Amino acid sequence: MTTSPQPPPAIQPSPNQNHLLAALPPEDFKRLLPSLELVFLPLGEMIYEPGRHMHHAYFPTTSIVSLHYVTESGASAETAGVGNEGLVGVTIFMGGDTTSSSAVVQTAGHAYRLEAPVLKQEFNLAGFMQGLLLRYTQALMTQMSQSAACNRHHSVEQRLCRWLLLTLDRCVSNELVMTQELVASMLGVRREGITEAAGNLQRAGYISSRRGHISVVNRLGLETASCECYAVVKKEMGRLLADVKHGRDA
């Protein structure tokens, strides 16, 4: 993966901005800290490709990474998103070094990169981090399975609401920098479908959309317009990782 020039961060980067790293006991965190490398992930950067060896895991802080599957025809759809609540690269410690999906930066920002052998070594100690990563993996699997069911059974407008809410949970503001083409690619639908759905939500007063930007102005309205999938994912993440946000002070 190539690195791009980093813009000056609005907030001083810290590993504690990632919920998993912040949850580690002090002795575990101290052991891992020298191996954590701060990197900037630009929008559109592909950090994993299908079938390629995975050399690093990424713990996002201000970035969001989309995991998605690309068909032979070039069509794609997101299976899950990862922000400051988790990590990208669960395959590394689950027994495989490659994956059939891609990982692309959806929102530019920072992450902490960790070499795969270091993550494997820490996981194999069978301590706190192993249990934490396994619980996170279960939460990620819930997000993936719920996305599959949602994409099959719910309307584009409901799916857009779910996706916006999950993205909003990982952001520091109510304004998302993304095009409708990008959203359409994430949801695996035609751009026209996103344009129509976004127009309906804007007329309802839930969002404000302009070229390359979507601002959420009525979150409660979005939650009402969404299907049950957002609540299912959020509840399961909260159940499995209830202790995560109560780690060391940032």
Please say whether the dihedral angle defined by the alpha carbons of residues 116, 6, 63 and 244, taken in this order, is positive or negative.
Answer: positive
Task: Tell me the fold of 15-151.
Answer: Jelly Rolls (2.60.120)
Alpha carbons 27 and 76: distance in angstroms, whole number? 42
Q: What is the pLDDT along the chain (250 residues), one digit of tens a residue?
A: 544 445 555 578 899 999 999 999 999 999 999 999 999 999 889 998 887 888 999 999 999 999 987 777 767 778 899 999 999 999 999 887 777 788 999 899 999 999 999 999 999 999 999 999 999 999 999 998 988 888 888 999 999 999 999 999 988 778 888 778 888 888 888 889 998 999 999 999 999 988 888 899 999 999 999 999 999 998 888 888 887 754 444 4
User: Is 155-226 the same fold as 15-151?
Assistant: no
CA distances from 213 to 11, 118, 186, 226 (A): 21, 38, 16, 20
The tokens for 110 are: 């920072």
Residue 89 Rama label (left phi>0; alpha psi -120 to 50; beta): left
Q: Reduce the DSSP state of residue 114 to 3 states and report it.
A: strand
Tell me which H or E stretch contains 10.
Answer: none
Report yes or no: 240 and 85 within 8 Å, Cβ to Cβ: no
Residue 109 Rama label (left phi>0; alpha psi -120 to 50; beta): left
Provide the residue ranges of all domains of the chain, joining segments of one domain with +.
15-151, 155-226
Alpha carbons 239 and 230: distance in angstroms, whole number? 14
Q: Choose which CATH entry (1.10.3720.10, 1.10.10.60, 1.10.10.10, 1.10.10.410) describes domain 155-226.
A: 1.10.10.10
